Amino acid sequence: MATWNSRGLRGSTLEDLINRSNEQYLEKGLALIQKIPTPITPIKIDKENRHITLAYFEQKSTVDYIGAVQGIPVCFDAKECSSDTFALQNIHEHQVAFMEAFEKQGGISFLILYFTSRDEIFYLPYDKMRFFWDRAKDGGRKSFCYGELDVNWCLKSGHGILVPYLDALQKDLERRD
């Protein structure tokens, strides 16, 4: 049974940036994207600070975010990486299966990756993520390097949007046509 403790807060910086971006997209009428909470059952609670210090996951999560952009269903997961190598063990099989099923239903799936040491955020289209995933499953590298990413998918904040993934989503849609 998987458990959660303070390590579960990893990724909160990126999620905060995405949450604020999602609020701005909603205010502008561009997208409705919601954070999907992971259901947990608390085991230990620090009563003085009213914080959960140990819990277990009730079920496997799907992805971090799901919603619609101008009528297009989207789902994505947010991942942080402190080095130039992203370990594929940070993506779970049930997440890949969910993203694949989502794509088969006409939705768009992707990852948003934050390389903290470089302070760079990337949009990783589903097919590229799947390439890395399948390569590992076929006995290849169990990770991918920063250098394997296309710099054209790097997200640069602008126009008041901290994580402007809609620009990359548009590019992703155009290449699929």
Binding residues for Mg(2+): 62, 64, 77, 95
The answer to whether 5 and 54 have CB atoms below 8 angstroms apart is yes
Known binding residues are 62, 64, 77, 95
Q: For strand 120-125 and strand 108-115, is the pairing parallel, antiparallel, or unpaired?
A: antiparallel
Contact 40, 58 (CB under 8 A): yes
User: Is residue 14 a contact partner of residue 121, using CB atoms and an 8 Å limit?
Assistant: yes
Residue (of 157, 156, 150) closest to 172 by Cα position: 150
